[in-house]
Amino acid sequence: GALVYQYPRRTICKSGTSMRMECQAVGFQATSVAWYRQSPQKTFELIALSTVNSAIKYEQNFTQEKFPISHPNLSFSSMTVLNAYLEDRGLYLCGARDQTGRAEQFFGPGTRLTVL
Amino acid sequence: GDSVTQKEGLVTLTEGLPVMLNCTYQTIYSNAFLFWYVHYLNESPRLLLKSSTDNKRTEHQGFHATLHKSSSSFHLQKSSAQLSDSALYYCARTPSGYNKLTFGKGTVLLVSP
């Protein structure tokens, strides 16, 4: 079956430092990977969408300078939260979609970021 | 713009009673897919249901939902709640052929004995 792993599951960083998180797709080819953030008391919000062989598209209020993303192959993606502050805390989800044309995304369990 | 509304933040039920979680959406796209995801604590959100054509019912694992474009709704239903159904449920949508999911705020379903 299709599985998505995320690492680390939980992390704590000091305010002003950076944190890198990873997403691994197993059992299918992750043609596109979407990164979401769920801030406390809010729903999931799309940060950016990465499609292999295409430019990464960031949503309004999110930038490459703040959330650089790498998607080097069909099984792996990483995102870094640069210069993290309190408002960056939350659960970061990776959603990967295969190349069969279905609209379904497979999600990882998320990386929970705490900023001190 | 695009949005998904789940008006209930918390639904509490006794085991055996029917379940209905509301989901309505607003969209500028004529075609869109609607989804229900179930999210258990410390696990990955898992796809529960995906919409089909207008007014067609989709079913999975005892749950069902029908996309009604006339009312922009995709309510989740189950005839008889089980204790194991207790979880967080998200309604989400995506434009046809696109990868961006817009989530509702989620509804916590608590089923008690």
A67-84 pLDDT, tens per residue? 999 999 999 999 999 999
Which run of H or of E encompasses A92? strand A90-97
Residue A100 has pLDDT above 70, yes or no: no
Length of chain B in terms of residues written: 113
Tokens (6 digits) for A66: 């703040």
Q: Does B52 touch chain A (CB under 8 A)?
A: no
Just give the CATH number of A3-115: 2.60.40.10
Cα dihedral B11/B16/B22/B23 (nearest 10): 110
Q: Does B37 touch chain A (CB under 8 A)?
A: yes
Residue B31 has pLDDT above 80, yes or no: no
Domains of chain B, each with CATH number or no CATH: 3-112 (2.60.40.10)
Of chain B, the percentage scoring pLDDT greater than 90 comes to: 76
Q: How far is B56 from B94, CA to CA, in rounded Å? A: 18
What pLDDT, in 10s, does the model give residues A30-78? 999 999 999 998 999 999 999 888 889 999 999 999 999 999 999 999 9
For residue A44, the chain B residues in CB contact (below 8 A) are: 90, 101, 103
In this prediction, residue A104 carries a pLDDT of 78
Q: How far is B43 from B104, CA to CA, in rounded Å? A: 19
- Annotated domain spans of chain A: 3-115
